[in-house]
Structure 1
Amino acid sequence: MSGPDTPLLDKVTYPADLRKLKPEQLTQFADELRSEVIDAVSVTGGHLGAGLGVVELTAAIHYVFDTPNDRLVWDVGHQCYPHKIITGRRDRIRTLRKGGGLSGFTKRSESEYDPFGAAHSSTSISAALGFAIANKLNDRPGRGIAVIGDGAMSAGMAYEAMNNAEAAGNRLVVILNDNDMSIAPPVGGLSAYLARIVSSREFLGIRQLARRVASKLPKALYDAARKTDEYARGMTMGGTLFEELGFYYVGPIDGHNMEHLIPVLENVRDAAEGPCLVHVVTEKGKGYKYAEEAADKYHGVAKFDVVSGKQDKGPGGGPPAYQNVFGETLARLANDDSRICAITAAMPSGTGVDKFARAHPDKAFDVGIAEQHGVTFAAGLAAQGMRPFCAIYSTFLQRAYDQVVHDVAIQNLPVRFAIDRAGLVGADGSTHAGSFDLTYLATLPNFVVMAPSDEAELAHMTLTAAQHDSGPIAFRYPRGSGTGIPIPGRLEALEIGKGRIVKQGSKVAILSLGARLTEAMKAADRLEAKGLSTTVVDLRFVKPLDEELIRRTLTSHEVAVTIEEAAVGGLGAHVLTLASDLGLTDAGLKIRTMRLPDRFQDQDKPELQYAEAGLDADGIVDTVLKALRHNSASVDSNIEEGARA
């Protein structure tokens, strides 16, 4: 199947090729680039709407600025597919988000045109400022250019960076990609004309002359003149807030109109003013009607048919997604408990809070991309007697760790943390993997940390968390669908710190935490087939540990293996510490800890990622057999007897 007809795009491998085009060819080039993005993502799946919204902006930036010498930083990076196509990666664009293929985000190891890897929001201005200052200190000409969305501007880090940007001078350019019209006044010919005028050399030259003259005036008159200039432009174009932060504001301009974009960006490039903010208004999903009509559904997509827009989401049916189990369970509990409320940080559907919000709209709070605020907001709610659930992806909760420690744990406030996307996450790769929450939470005094092995356990743990008022409590669960276990009509709160024996054996013990239980059971069946009697324990809690169950299991089995979807420092480390404290390690007990490897794993199918990490049934069996061979000469005979049986 052939792709779209792209005669101009075919001439462009790198931005240097793009700059050979005539300005009047750029609109056609953008149309071809958009067609290529749509066709590629229809094959790979991925983030579609955001990338389509910045096609013209991407082309304009690379056309005007001297990339890669000018360092272009895309905030979050999920809109970078057009950027990748015109920076030497078009031949691999249909490997997006696949094992061994291109990352779905910017990545330093992929290209010199990706100077800063990103997948969490609101970091771009700080990074671009770093590039700009480094070039200034080394007398290099390159700029730092940050492209940041209006949603990402809701995070405090963006303003912290802007507050320190003055030292960069005109080497820093921030492009505010406003695709929700959440900030912009109406955009049209007049605003484009004004933006072009006030960013021109002539206007800036007159403005600088006026400033020099005004600087000779008494301070009161000078301040008045400066304010008059800023507010006059603020009244016609907006941007007073950014002027107060030290930026020269230009905009808003139509981000899909090359005749508007090119001259303004050229003026900004050549300006002698200080840091500049260009306010560009774009439309998510621009140029593909299905994405324009349903921007939320086409933000991230599965493979789809370009003509019909129909996404290939698999056969349908099957077990519910974990986040939906959480959202529906919490909504159900809130019917009988007026103290329950839910907080999410710009991810209502991803966390299931959207389902809670439909049932209890006055008790659901989307704080935007502001995890730090969300956690401390929850702490305030808890301190006032509410039962807040902070539903945040594991990878994003890292951004609020100080608040978790200082505002929640130290004060022993009963904030409930529903931690989604725990473990490996497939196509989103290392930036979104939930690898570290067990380690960074289970080290904290006062915390209870648990993990369900299936969707029914998740429902029980949601109730357990709701009823736990003596301190903070967290439960982590993976991305994707459950195991098919029915959710009971009557939920039961779990006893804090108590696990359960799922299968009783005598020689090998597998101590599982979370969703690896299914693989642990498969491994137990294979070990049993080899004549090795195997116990499987679902510990449920990493903090507090079920010390009695663990002590009893360790002392009655020859080999014990812990397994978890987390980095070192979680369950395995806590079990080893307990064994040491109890003196069990002196008895020659063999304990093996199975966890994620000490490296960041690239994107791939989740089952392949877990196989690579050794956290599947094959990995468990291999770990057990190696441990036994170190300890017993009778293993081979056991295996032979099992084979004969």
Structure 2
Amino acid sequence: MEISPGELLKAINSPADLKNLSREQLHKVCDELRQYIIDIVSVHGGHFAASLGVVELTVALHYIYNTPYDQLVWDVGHQAYGHKILTGRRDNFYTNRKYHGLSGFPKRGESEYDTFGVGHSSTSISAALGMAMAAKYKGETDRKSVAIIGDGAMTAGMAFEAMNHAGVADSDVLIILNDNCMSIDPNVGALKEYLTDITLSPTYNKFKDDVWKALGKLPVGKGFTRSMAHKVAESLKGMMSSSANLFESLKLRYFGPIDGHNIIKLVDTLKDLREIPGPKILHIITKKGKGYSLAEKDQTKWHAPGLFDKITGEIVKKKFDSPQPPKYQDVFGLSIIELAEQNDKIMGVTPAMPSGSSLKFMMNKMPDRSFDVGICEQHAVTLSAGLATQGLRVFCNIYSSFMQRAFDQVVHDVAIQKLPVIMCLDRAGLVGEDGPTHHGAYDIAYLRCIPNMVISAPMNESELRNLMYTAQLESNQLPFVIRYPRGEGVLINWKTPFEEITIGKGRKLKDGEDVAIVSLGHPGNFATAAIRELKTQGLNPAHYDMRFAKPLDEELLHEIFSKFDKIVTVEDGTVVGGFGSAILEFMTMHGYKADVKILGIPDRIVEHGTPKELHKECGYDAQGIAEAVRAMVKTTTYTIEPRFIELQ
């Protein structure tokens, strides 16, 4: 299906083309750009509501600023679709988030207009400030740096750290606060309330200008100076409105709030601000999903709806002939309620992902025991640690890739103090179309090196429930990690009775000959499929599900290495320092000799695509496992010394 852009949009191949248009034509450009995003995303999928909300801002920025010489940093990349379309990627935009296609986020290697790679939130101010400081150092006094940050991203400590520095760095940086009261879910916290107060109060700059003009009419001299007038204005401003106090206390000159959907107002404001040196912040009010009524009404649902009928708004759902397994995240969300009903010490914490993690179920049913703390992973972990000191059993649910932000808190506030925080790492492994910024590739490796940690991974939904049950028992007094992938599990009848799992104990799923497949977590299902294929070829490998990357089941490993000299390990984490590496360490420590092949995420950046495409590329889908086993069986001898990994 060919999707054609509007009359004006189809002639815009770069911001230079946009600048050739009159101000009056910008309204039509915005309408065509918004419609083009709707047309493409409805047919090809992707993030949706965020980019609709910044159409006018995107057009205004590229109309006024000299991009790419002037540098725009988008935060987060969900809102950058219009930016991509206006910067030479319109005709390829249908490949967005597809295998070998455009990235769903700004990406430096993709375009010179993408000045900074962004997938996580709250990095834009730091990056733009760095660019501004570099421009000043190099004498590029005409070069501008702009950070476009959503109000949800403002809740992260990193944004405040950057603003704190920007106020004293004496660099020419503009921060645009895109205030729509949404990230993926509705924003939470005191900052949201503060921004709401600003929105409802008289605009600070208008009030300040009016006071300044009035004082300017007073006779200067005779003891009344302009400096004194300024002090009077500031005092009156403080009495009448608190709208700018937060930002101006950080020495950022505050402008706004203004309507972020008034293209002419935006163009005029940005034109003026471009000439004002120093650190400053422009506060704009936008509507996430603007221009598509259904997305305006339910912004969470339309953050990334998948394919849909743009006329009726009906979201296209996969049709199956039989019932399908639930998503792991929903199994977590429903199981934690079951556990919390049995154990009044259980609490739930998530940093801005109640829908993505399905903690929303508990938040709806038990609002006094479950909390969304905003985009604050570090705070989420240490808050959980504080709750744990008081004897509570806290499930802290964070996406695997987002947990990277809280590494120090896991070490310092949880592991060193040996607090039994239960860290549920959603989206572990390759997450698919979101790509390298969201892949949960490294958690096994970076958590395995920390003392006092339990690291587990369920092979199916029943195992997830049992690990959750085990982790909350009083007998467990250690930090307990449960990692599981994005998407569906494998069991239709998943709601099994809770059973305790002995910490550090794996299980033999199948006895066999010649080769042992040793898996961790959901990829064990790929191994099961591979074994079915191999059986048709006369091969009979054994299969072990280890369940735990730490502590390892040494009794089971002794059994494996005593019986097999050919072993394939399978995991959905990095092959460097991960589960397979732990198996090699055990082998070396105990003097075993075997040919070991590690399958998992390779030591390179894996781009975006469907999970199925990426598993195949990385060689640990069922076909890749079967090929590894066949290759090993052909080997008649094994190396005397351990063969340290052939990376797949």
TM-score normalized with structure 2 length: 0.90
SS of aligned partner of 2:128: helix
Q: Is the 8 A contact 2:208 2:233 kept in 1?
A: no
SS of aligned partner of 2:573: coil
Matching residue's letter, 1:524: I
By how many angstroms is 1:192 displaced? 10
1:176 aligns with 2:177: yes
1:144 aligns with 2:145: yes
2:635 to 630, 633, 636: 630
Of the structure 1 ranges 381-390 and 550-559, higher mean CA displacement relative to structure 2 is found in 550-559
Give me the whole-angstrom Cα distance separating, in 2, the residues matched to 1:214 and 1:114.
51
SS of aligned partner of 2:584: helix
Give me the whole-angstrom Cα distance separating, in 2, the residues matched to 1:375 and 1:527.
44
Alignment of 1:77-476 (within 5 A): 77-140=77-140, 141-169=142-170, 171-180=172-181, 182=192, 183-185=195-197, 191=203, 194=206, 225=230, 228-229=233-234, 232=237, 235=240, 238-272=243-277, 274-315=278-319, 317-467=323-473, 468-476=475-483
Give me the whole-angstrom Cα distance separating, in 2, the residues matched to 1:487 and 1:106.
39
Matching residue's letter, 2:528: M
Distance change (3 Å), C-alpha of 1:284 and 1:494:
same
Q: Is the 8 A contact 1:195 1:250 kept in 2?
A: no
By how many angstroms is 1:167 displaced? 4.8
| Residues 248-281 of structure 1: CA deviation (Å, up to 9, x unaligned) | 0000000001232111111100114x21100000
| Residues 153-185 of structure 1: CA deviation (Å, up to 9, x unaligned) | 001100100111135535200000000293144
By how many angstroms is 1:443 displaced? 1.2
By how many angstroms is 1:3 displaced? 3.6
By how many angstroms is 1:501 displaced? 0.7
Distance change (3 Å), C-alpha of 1:196 and 1:159:
same
By how many angstroms is 1:461 displaced? 0.9
Distance change (3 Å), C-alpha of 1:372 and 1:193:
closer
Q: Is the 8 A contact 1:559 1:590 kept in 2?
A: yes
1:573 to 574, 581, 596: 581
| Residues 192-239 of structure 1: CA deviation (Å, up to 9, x unaligned) | 9939969xxx99xx9xxx9xx99997xxx7xx9458438628945812
Matching residue's letter, 1:451: A
By how many angstroms is 1:487 displaced? 2.5
Alignment of 1:594-605 (within 5 A): 594-605=599-610
By how many angstroms is 1:486 displaced? 2.1
1:582 aligns with 2:594: no
1:617 aligns with 2:618: no
Alignment of 1:534-545 (within 5 A): 534-545=541-552
SS of aligned partner of 2:583: helix
Q: Is the 8 A contact 1:195 1:253 kept in 2?
A: no
Distance change (3 Å), C-alpha of 1:67 and 1:383:
same
| Aligned counterpart, 2:509 | 502
Q: Is the 8 A contact 1:196 1:264 kept in 2?
A: no
Give the superposed CA RMSD.
2.4
Matching residue's letter, 2:300: D
Distance change (3 Å), C-alpha of 1:214 and 1:247:
farther
| Residues 6-58 of structure 1: CA deviation (Å, up to 9, x unaligned) | 11212211111111111111111111110011111112211111000000000
Distance change (3 Å), C-alpha of 1:231 and 1:281:
farther
Give me the whole-angstrom Cα distance separating, in 1, the residues matched to 2:517 and 2:560.
9
Structure 2 alignment gaps of length 5 or more = 183-191, 639-648
Distance change (3 Å), C-alpha of 1:234 and 1:176:
farther
SS of aligned partner of 1:418: strand
| Aligned counterpart, 2:185 | none
By how many angstroms is 1:146 displaced? 0.2
Give me the whole-angstrom Cα distance separating, in 1, the residues matched to 2:494 and 2:72.
49
Of the structure 1 ranges 481-490 and 50-59, higher mean CA displacement relative to structure 2 is found in 481-490
Structure 1 alignment gaps of length 5 or more = 634-645
Give the structure with the larger helix fraction.
1
Give me the whole-angstrom Cα distance separating, in 2, the residues matched to 1:503 and 1:395.
33
Q: Is the 8 A contact 2:259 2:286 kept in 1?
A: yes
By how many angstroms is 1:528 displaced? 3.1
SS of aligned partner of 1:73: strand
Q: Is the 8 A contact 2:330 2:357 kept in 1?
A: yes
SS of aligned partner of 1:361: coil
Q: Is the 8 A contact 1:195 1:251 kept in 2?
A: no
1:606 aligns with 2:611: yes
SS of aligned partner of 1:147: strand
SS of aligned partner of 2:7: coil
SS of aligned partner of 1:426: coil
Aligned-residue identity in percent:
46
Give me the whole-angstrom Cα distance separating, in 1, the residues matched to 2:455 and 2:311.
47
| Aligned counterpart, 1:513 | 520
TM-score normalized with structure 1 length: 0.91
Q: Is the 8 A contact 1:456 1:485 kept in 2?
A: no
Matching residue's letter, 2:25: Q
Give me the whole-angstrom Cα distance separating, in 1, the residues matched to 2:347 and 2:75.
31
Q: Is the 8 A contact 1:106 1:116 kept in 2?
A: yes
Matching residue's letter, 1:583: G
| Residues 366-401 of structure 1: CA deviation (Å, up to 9, x unaligned) | 000000000000000001100000000001010100
By how many angstroms is 1:403 displaced? 0.2
Alignment of 1:467-486 (within 5 A): 467=473, 468-486=475-493
By how many angstroms is 1:490 displaced? 1.8
Give me the whole-angstrom Cα distance separating, in 2, the residues matched to 1:188 and 1:474.
44
SS of aligned partner of 2:407: helix
Q: Is the 8 A contact 2:205 2:255 kept in 1?
A: no
| Residues 392-448 of structure 1: CA deviation (Å, up to 9, x unaligned) | 000101010000010000000000001100010111111100001111111111010
Q: Is the 8 A contact 2:208 2:237 kept in 1?
A: no
| Aligned counterpart, 1:29 | 29
